[in-house]
Structure 1
Amino acid sequence: MNLLESSHRQYRQTLILGLINSCGKLYPQEQLKISYSILDGIYCEFENSLVSVREVNRIEEELKAWVNADQPITFQSGEEDGFFHCVANGKTIKSLFPPFQQSGPIYPFRLIHYPPGFILLFSNPNNPEELAPFVPPEKLTATFRETQRWGENLHLSEVKDINQIIQEHRSQELICLAEALHEKKVSLVADRILEQRKNVKVILISGPSSSGKTTFAQRLATQLRVNGLRPVALSLDNYFCNREDTPKDAEGHPDFEALDALDLPLLNLHLQALIQGKEIECPIYDFETGQRKSKGLKMQLSDDDILVMEGIHGLNPRLLSSLDRNHIFRIYVSALFQLNIDPYNRIPTTEVRLIRRLVRDDKFRGISSSNTLIQWASVRRGENTNIFPYQEEADIMFNSSLLYELNALRSYAEPLLVSIPKEHPYYSTASHLLRLLAHFDPLDTTKIPFNSILREFIGGGIYSY
């Protein structure tokens, strides 16, 4: 399997197909489920039983033997019903992604026992020849599992379950369930902050692109007010260094996503003063000139005020390194989509966020779907550098995904994706997203509440962005 000529995704998908074969061969009585991404791997489990260390080791040995046996993967009938029908070791498997059709050695991988299941760990695309050490992301895992249990309790684990509700004209019930969970979780976050009010002075909110951070921040502000607190927004953007002091990227361009693009000493000085009840003059940054304005905005906090700051560096300990950790409450927001199409075909959360971003860029930012697709690789690199390494620094995580969102987004996203020409460098990505959306029955978006996180992307909401 010549990975030098193939994408990292194909390498991953080939191993997944091999894993399905290996588990089916060793444990034909078990149903393997591929549940969600975790760091550079995927979490898998058997639907009706725990997986032991010995079983994981045996599966890994079988998968390595499959890889080294030079077994071919072929297409049985190409692409059908939104899937690629593949044959490996005589077993037909449906896949959202095309796998390799060659065979031979591939990049390293590992199976890690992670009760009640296991993780298939891949190499990182930035360093494909080596496997990074695996440090269990306990908070992220707990958030995934909580969402998974909630869906299972409602018997809503696969796309067909959502489609059936829509076909039965019960979409309002579905929307109400999903939105009620969000409201409950936002309220719980506000209650946690209230419990720690004697210490907490600053709330930091961070998360990857198109996670709904802005709507979450405004909904949290409402719940904080209900709890008797007065949230005060402080924009990190105003602490950008003047253009001439901005660090440069590898190509010599200003790197506005770098942490040191912010004036960290001034930011820390101002926050310490605010926490002590002193008045500051917050700078105002002019993006057109790349300079701070001569006059800033005077600020002072009262006893009931609490600062709320949103930005990509919110979880980085270096951001507010001079402040007492007890004064800071960090929140990680991400759209951790949980629905599977079937046990083997999960829906990557990254692709849900990309669909959100495509719709929002077209409706509100004047950015074409063509340019959004081109920019996405750069966005992802920034997330991998500035956000994902600090996920576990969060005091609490909020899953902004909604069970019905791809049903709702389908009618907005499909025309944008259809418009991508075949010669476009990301035409294959657009085609894949179209295949993915085809599995979701459209949903009437007029029934979505005006304070829903989804309104940040489709419009019609009550918040300003």
Structure 2
Amino acid sequence: MSIPSFAIGIAGGTGAGKTTVSRTVADTVGEAVTRIPLDNYYEDLSHLAFEEREQVNYDHPSAFEWELLREQLDALLSGQAIEMPQYDFEVHNRKDERITVEPTDVIVLEGILSLHDDAIREMLDLRVYVMTDADVRILRRIERDVIERGRDLEGVIDQYLETVKPMHEKFVAPTKKHADVIIPEGANRMAIDLLIEKVQAELPADSIRDEEFDRELSFNEPAMD
């Protein structure tokens, strides 16, 4: 079983491009990377009615189950598998099922408050903050919540003005001071490429050889009819 050698936290405001960065790193580096979305660690609100769950401030640090995240991140970094919770954004609650996550050489924690908790920051080898203009972020937020998560436009705008924006200013933006690397404009390809190079440089030599071997096999496989 692999014991991770490198842990990265990727933070930033809603719609900043955190997921794009983390997915690009994972897709480029390959199976040596495991992504841990912070959103999966929203508190279990099964005891609340749907209407009550709609009113919860999901951009406040209190919305997350930090103790569970600390325990599971520590387990992964110790070479132990975890049962990671899953989250359903349409019903504002956790799903019943969990998924087994095995430790890999690189662990990437991604979410708005990935750099907020002191204990979690101590577990990270590299802290990244993705910074994007507010007008771009709100447009991305509207597109995501309305199209991908099935929410109504008026509700998304109200939530942004009432909680998302003030919580960003109070809790998210200040975590930028903890970052080792700041990526401007979210999908800045040059910055992402530099991050990927850093991750690849931290991989154990045997992992790099395995990745290269897998790619060589895929290139040499005969085409299927």
CA distance in 2, matches of 1:353, 1:204: 20
Deviation of the 1:365 alpha carbon: 4.8
Among 375, 379, 388, which residue is 2:159 paired with? 375
Contact 2:129 2:182 survives alignment (8 Å): yes
Deviations 1:86-120 (A, max 9, x none): xxxxxxxxxxxxxxxxxxxxxxxxxxxxxxxxxxx
Greater RCO between the two (CA within 8 Å, min separation 6)?
A: 2
Corresponding residue of 2:19: 214
Does structure 1 retain, via aligned residues, the 8 Å contact 2:4–2:106? Answer: no
The residue identity in structure 2 corresponding to 1:205 is I
Seen in structure 2, the aligned counterparts of structure 1 residues 267 and 370 have a Cα distance that, compared at 3 Å, is closer
Contact 1:200–1:327 (Cα < 8 Å) also in 2: no
Aligned equivalent of 2:182, options 368, 381, 397: 397
Paired residue for 1:309, among 80, 104, 109? 109
Deviation, structure 1 residue 399: 0.8
Measure how far apart 1:366 and its partner are: 4.9
One-letter identity of the residue aligned with 1:232: T
Higher normalized helix content (fraction of residues): 2
Is this contact kept in 1: 2:9–2:124, CA < 8 A? Answer: no
Letter in 2 for 1:334: M
8 Å Cα contact 2:33/2:108 also seen in 1: yes
1:327–1:206 CA distance, 2 compared to 1 (3 A) = closer
The answer as to 2:24 corresponding to 1:240 is: no
User: Which structure has the bigger radius of gyration?
Assistant: 1
- 1:375 partner letter: Q
Q: What residue is the counterpart of 2:170 in the other structure?
A: 385
Over residues 337-376 of structure 1, what are the superposed CA-to-partner deviations in whole Å (9 max), with x where a residue is unaligned?
Answer: xxxxxxxxxxxx3223334445555654555655554333
CA distance in 1, matches of 2:186, 2:36: 26
Matching residue's letter, 1:352: V
Is this contact kept in 2: 1:238–1:284, CA < 8 A? yes
- How does the TM-score come out when normalised to structure 2? 0.63
Distance 1:330 1:245 in 2: 35
**Which of 351, 366, 370 is 2:135 aligned to?**
351
Partner AA of 1:260 in structure 2: S
Paired residues of 2:4 and 2:79 also in contact (CA < 8 A): no
Verify: 1:328 aligned to 2:125, yes or no. Answer: yes
DSSP-derived class of the 1:377 partner: helix
Hey, what's the Cα distance between the residues in 2 that align with 1:396 and 1:216? Answer: 13
Contact 1:199/1:327 (<8 A) preserved:
no
Please give the alpha-carbon distance, in whole angstroms, between the structure 2 residues aligned to 1:201 and 1:262.
Answer: 24
CA contact (8 A) 2:82 2:100 kept: yes
Deviation digits for residues 206-233 of structure 1, max 9, x if unmatched?
Answer: 11122122222212223434xxx71112
Residue of structure 2 aligned with 1:273, choices 44, 65, 75? 75
What TM-score does the superposition give when structure 1 sets the normalisation length? 0.33
Q: Distance in 1 between matches of 2:166 and 2:183?
A: 22
1:334 & 1:384 partners in 2: Cα distance?
13
Deviation at 1:391, TM superposition (A): 0.9
Counterpart of 2:52 in structure 1 is none
Paired residue secondary structure (2:174): helix
The aligned counterpart of 2:197 is none
Cα pair distance change 1:328/1:244, threshold 3 Å:
farther
State the secondary structure of the residue aligned to 2:33: strand
Alignment partner of 2:169: what SS?
helix
Gap regions ≥5 residues in structure 1: 1-197, 247-252, 336-348, 404-465
How far has the Cα of 1:315 moved from its partner?
A: 1.4
State the alpha-carbon separation in 1 of the partners of residues 23 and 41 from structure 2: 21
What is the distance in 2 between the residues matched to 1:220 and 1:264?
25
Shift of 1:332: 0.7
> How many angstroms apart in 1 are the aligned matches of 2:56 and 2:22?
28
CA distance in 2: counterparts of 1:201 and 1:351, whole angstroms: 33
Which whole-Å CA distance do the structure 2 matches of 1:326 and 1:235 have between them?
16
C-alpha contact (below 8 Å) 1:242/1:292 kept by paired residues: no
Counterpart pick for 1:264 among 55, 62, 66: 66
**Could you tell me how far apart the structure 2 residues matched to 1:277 and 1:264 are?**
20
Secondary structure of 2:130 counterpart? strand
CA distance in 2, matches of 1:289, 1:210: 19
Answer yes or no: is the 8 Å Cα contact 1:202–1:308 preserved in 2. Answer: yes
Structure 1 position 290, deviation (Å): 3.5
CA RMSD of aligned residues (A): 3.5
Give the deviation of 1:276 after TM superposition. Answer: 1.3
List per-residue Cα deviations over 1:232-268 (Å, max 9, x = no partner): 122323323221689xxxxxx4333332332222221
Please give the secondary structure, in 2, of the residue aligned with 1:390.
helix
Matches within 5 A, 1:113-124: none
Asked whether the equivalents of residues 21 and 187 of structure 2 are also in contact (C-alpha less than 8 Å), the reply is no
* 8 Å CA contact 1:362, 1:369 repeated in 2: yes
